[in-house]
Amino acid sequence: QVSSAIAQTEEEINVQVYQSVSPAVVTIDTQFGSGSGVIVGSDGLIVTNAHVVDGSDTVTVIRADRQEYQGRVIGYESNGADLAAVRIQARNLPTVEVATSPVQVGQRAFAIGNPFGRFEGTFTIGIVSRIDTDNGLIQTDAAINPGNSGGPLLNSRGELIGINTAIFTPRRSGPGV
């Protein structure tokens, strides 16, 4: 009974994180493709990856409730990190809080995004596998696919711990390797 109580608690956390955060996850469409973003300011401030909006001054932002906005790319992270800011003209938007406690290897990690430009609100779960302090990166085993770029990586409190940026697929040298 103890293991089923723990599993139920984990499941409840999963559902709570998704329900609280998914309204603040957006799709970002550009003339070059699409990705994800996360609303961090109730006044329309969105964080995404620089590679999602690169080459665009304006983008289309689609909220989870299907409302569309014209977004303006307002800046890029100055130290070369793959981060950008987009602003939409709206107020009282749902937001995600940024975590204040440090990220630790072994903690649960949740990713929400819009992979392949068609599966809005996809939710995956994993753990923080590694922290690369030299490059400011968090490695997770939560499933990330093309189009998840720019979406939030979250802790079990639904707080933002990172922005999903890339997947690593090693080159295989032959069958079964």
Catalytic residue IDs: 51, 82, 149
Q: Which amino acid is at 176?
A: G
Question: What burial letters (b/e) apply to 67-99, b meaning 16+ CB within 10 Å?
Answer: eebebbbeebeeeeebbbbbbbeeeebebbeeb
| Rounded CA Rg of the chain | 16
Terminal Cα distance for the chain, rounded: 41
Closest by CA to 146, choosing from 67, 21, 34, is 34
- Please give the sequence-ordered ranges of beta strands (E in DSSP) within the chain, or none if there are none: 25-29, 34-41, 45-48, 58-62, 68-76, 84-88, 108-113, 122-132, 137-140, 152-154, 160-163
